[in-house]
Each structure stands twice: as structure tokens, then as C-alpha cells.
């Protein structure tokens, strides 16, 4: 699913202010249906020239946080960001010790240049790298695979759940346990 932010913002190419961000957040919530299966929802910034941190906090981060709490299978990704907008979002997520998926997206919704914007702490980075390298995994599988690190299943689960809460990993129920996989392939 793709949301053209320019069209949701009445064609304005400069996004500024917290109030405007919350207005776009409302539009994103209204136009995003829940999903039975995990899916990326692309916030397409094509044509947006400038976005302030207060706008990005209200709209983009606000939508990610709303989706992760309420639309459990919806994972927002920022796409096609102009350099000035990318710089502002990067500054914002780094200041919060947060991360956000970004990519380029063509007309057929083919993803390229996918990457995490911001920084993961060393434990989160190691966990993310393990999931990226191994594919879909569970906390008990990671505990068994990395038994030399003396990290138990509960600690692995906490790390995995933390990354899922940030929208970095997809979380799926598999019987009594949860399986985690990367939302996008990093290029």
C-alpha cells in the first residue's frame, strides 16, 4: 500500500509544524485499513521539498507509533525522500535513539535502496543482524544458535519485540511462540 503524502496534504510541497503533522496523521489513519497479514505501508514523499522535525514527529513517527499499537500488521516505511527531508528525519530519529525504514519506490512498488535510518544500540544491532542473516526466527532458536553468548530466550524475545515495536521487524504468531523476520531486505 502506498500513501502519496503530497496528495494527502492538498499538494503542498513544504510540510511544517506539528499541527499540520497531526492533520496528516489523521488522514493516514483514516485511509489505512487494518490487515490480516503483515504489510509495509509506504509513505511516499515524492514531490515533498521540505519537512520540519515537528511535522515529521506528528505525521510520520506518530503514524508509525499508532500503527504498531493499533494496526498490528501495518509497518510504515518512508519512501522517495528528497535530501532535505531525509536529513531532517535522520536528525530527528538519531536525536531520539530511534530508527525508521526508508527506501526508494518506483511506480510498480518495487523497493530499492532500503535501509534503516538512525542507529540501533549494539544489542539491537546484533539482534537485527542475526534476523537479517537467518531469516524468520524465534527467540528460542536464537538462544540455541548463539548459546555461547549466554543470552536466554526471554532476553532474545525482549530484543526482538523491541525491534518489532519500532517497526523494524515483522512479528508473527507461530503456535505459542512468535516468529520475527525483517520487514525489508537491506540493499
SS3 of residue 44 by DSSP: strand
Q: How confident is the model at residue 149 (pLDDT cuts 50, 70, 90)?
A: confident
Burial, 42: exposed, middle or buried (Cβ in 10 Å; 0-12, 13-18, 19+)? buried
- Is the separation of the CB atoms in 119 and 100 below 8 Å? no
What are 5-52's pLDDT values in tens digits? 988 887 788 898 999 999 999 999 999 998 888 899 999 999 999 999
Q: If pLDDT is split at 50, 70 and 90, which confidence band does 139 have?
A: very high
Q: Which domains does the chain have, with CATH numbers?
A: 2-118 (3.30.750), 122-182 (1.10.10.10)
- The yes-or-no verdict on residue 186 having pLDDT over 70 is no
Mean pLDDT of the chain: 91
Tell me, yes or no, if the pTM score tops 0.85. Answer: yes
Amino acid at each position: 500500500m502506498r500513501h502519496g503524502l503530497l496528495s494527502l496534504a492538498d499538494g503542498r510541497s513544504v510540510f511544517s509544524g506539528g499541527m499540520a503533522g497531526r492533520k496528516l496523521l489523521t488522514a493516514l489513519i483514516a485511509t489505512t485499513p487494518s490487515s490480516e497479514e503483515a504489510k509495509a505501508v509506504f509513505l511516499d514523499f515524492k514531490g515533498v521539498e521540505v519537512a520540519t522535525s515537528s511535522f515529521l514527529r506528528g505525521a510520520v513517527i506518530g503514524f508509525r507509533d499508532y500503527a504498531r499499537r493499533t494496526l498490528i500488521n501495518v509497518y510504515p516505511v518512508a519512501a522517495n525522500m528528497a535530501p532535505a527531508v531525509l536529513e531532517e528525519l535522520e536528525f530527528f530519529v538519531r536525536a531520539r535513539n530511534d530508527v525508521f525504514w526508508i527506501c526508494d519506490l518506483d511506480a510498480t512498488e518495487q523497493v530499492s535502496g532500503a535501509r534503516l535510518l538512525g542507529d540501533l544500540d549494539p544489542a539491537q544491532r546484533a539482534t537485527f543482524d542475526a534476523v537479517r542473516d537467518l531469516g524468520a526466527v524465534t527467540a528460542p532458536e536464537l538462544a540455541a544458535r548463539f548459546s555461547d553468548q549466554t543470552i536466554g530466550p526471554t532476553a532474545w524475545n525482549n530484543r526482538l519485540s523491541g525491534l518489532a515495536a519500532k517497526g523494524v521487524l515483522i512479528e508473527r504468531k507461530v503456535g505459542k511462540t512468535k516468529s520475527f523476520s525483517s520487514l525489508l531486505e537491506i540493499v
